[in-house]
Amino acid sequence: MRLLRCWLIGILLAPGTGWAEWLHDQQDIMGTEVTVTVWHDQAAAGKEAIAAVMADMRRIDATYSPYIESSELARLNATAAQQPVPISAEFSYLIERSLHYSRLSGGAFDITFASLGWFYDYRGKKKPDAEQRKNLLPAINYKFLTLDPVRHTLAFAHPNVRIDLGGIAKGYAVDRAVEILRRYGITHASVSAGGDSRLLGDRRGRPWLIGIKNPRQRGADDREVVLTMPLSDVAVSTSGDYERFFIDEKTGERVHHIINPKTGRSADSVISVTILGPQGTDTDALSTTLFVLGVEQGLALLEGLPGFDAVIIDAAGKVHYSPGLQPPSP
Ligand code: AMP
Ligand code: MG
């Protein structure tokens, strides 16, 4: 009898067999760090939910990575200038959302930035040469994208167009993650893919703490946080010029991954933009958009979007807040 009791207690205490607890996993996917934290009454089901999220992130990467030759996006880039290419409903949705933000921002957000942007190599410290700029800058224009949202086809109306969903896909991925976690009955979770996070519920009675990193901390792998925001049930995306960059030794210029579609060069009026809003697909696209637009035009655009807020650090290091985040005047 005593033996049986010990055995039963062992089962109840064994990890992964019962007990509500916080579960956490972190993996390198989509060229970034994906982290998932959930609370679940059944640890085994919680682990299954996290595994399902990670599997979906891998699927999104395999489908939309421009670097994977077999991806749907890479194949589309190779042929859409010749004829309309059938795409999935999901792909069509991502293009449609991208075009929405292009129109809204007068082209500051433009997935055809890749026509020239493809020739930047941040690890190899290379940027496009003068010839490439001359030939490919005219191919950056979202108006060259012909989307048939009913038949789900996409065509390029210019021979040199390429697209890249790097400014919206991670935000979409964290939205999907929250949908998946909800299906598993989870009501408290935090998911992040690099600079894009989505919070489901709170931390069981306390808010989640989301930090904005110091964009100019020198020589640090793990940047210090300059501002911490207590948040729940929200999406948060940060775009920074410190994520993927190199310093051009000849000019001293910081060459980074957010491209101003008008010039084909790295946008340089701000150094960090954080957007808060209901969905990651939107906060991700908007963080990139506001990075290109800068403080004044960026905050003006946000005025027409209720439910979204921004924290912008300009090139001089000054922090700007959208009206919704400013403390009430005394
Ligand atoms: P994020 O870190 O969300 O701002 O996204 C940066 C990524 O967005 C880059 O690595 C590019 O893949 C992509 N991107 C860069 N410039 C633009 C732009 N002007 N419009 C849309 N996507 C862009
Ligand atoms: Mg973004």
Give the CATH number for residue 259. 3.10.520.10
Q: How far is the CA of 285 from the centre of ligand 2 (A)?
A: 5
Tokens of 50: 């996290």
Report whether residue 163 contacts ligand 1, using a CB cutoff of 6 Å: no
Residue 223: pLDDT band with limits 50, 70, 90: confident
166 lines ligand 1 (CB under 6 A): yes
Q: Best of 94, 241, 259 to mutate for ligand 1, by most ligand atoms within 8 A of CB?
A: 259
| Average pLDDT over every residue of 30-54 | 96
User: Which residue has better confidence, 264 or 17?
Assistant: 264
Name the closest-CA residue to atom 3, ligand 1: 167
pLDDT of residue 3: 36
Closest ligand 1 atom to residue 292 Cα is 19
| Ligand 1 and 111: CB distance under 6 A | yes
If pLDDT is split at 50, 70 and 90, which confidence band does 221 have?
A: low
Q: Give pLDDT, residue 220.
A: 58
| Residue 168 near ligand 1, beta carbon < 6 Å | no
Surface-to-core class of residue 119, CB atoms within 10 Å of its CB (0-12 exposed, 13-18 middle, 19+ buried): middle
pLDDT recorded at residue 247? 94
Does a structural domain hold residue 161? no
Q: What is the pLDDT of residues 18-41, one digit of tens each?
A: 577 899 999 999 999 999 999 999
pLDDT above 90 covers what percent of the chain? 87
Q: Of 191, 202, 228, 192, give the one whose Cα is nearest residue 213.
A: 228
Q: Is 282 in the pocket of ligand 1 (CB under 6 A)?
A: no
User: Is the torsion defined by CA of 3, 6, 10, 11 positive or negative?
Assistant: positive
Q: Which residues contact 244 (CB under 8 A, 6 or more apart)?
A: 122, 256, 257
Number of structural domains found in the chain: 2
Same domain membership, residue 319 and residue 210: yes
Give mean pLDDT, residues 226-246.
95
Probe target for ligand 1 pocket from 164, 283, 297, with the most ligand atoms within 8 Å of CB: 164
Is the predicted pLDDT of residue 5 greater than 70, yes or no?
Answer: no
> Would the CB of 169 count as within 6 Å of ligand 1?
no
Nearest CA to ligand 1 atom 6: 167
With cut-offs at 50, 70 and 90, classify the pLDDT of residue 219. low
What confidence tier does 10 reach under pLDDT thresholds 50, 70, 90? very low
Domain final residue, candidates 108, 130, 156: 156
- If asked whether residues 96 and 210 sit together in one domain, one would say no
**Secondary structure class of 194 (helix, strand, coil):** coil
Q: Is residue 127 part of a domain?
A: yes
Domain that holds residue 130: 78-156
Q: Closest residue (by CA) to atom 8 of ligand 1?
A: 167
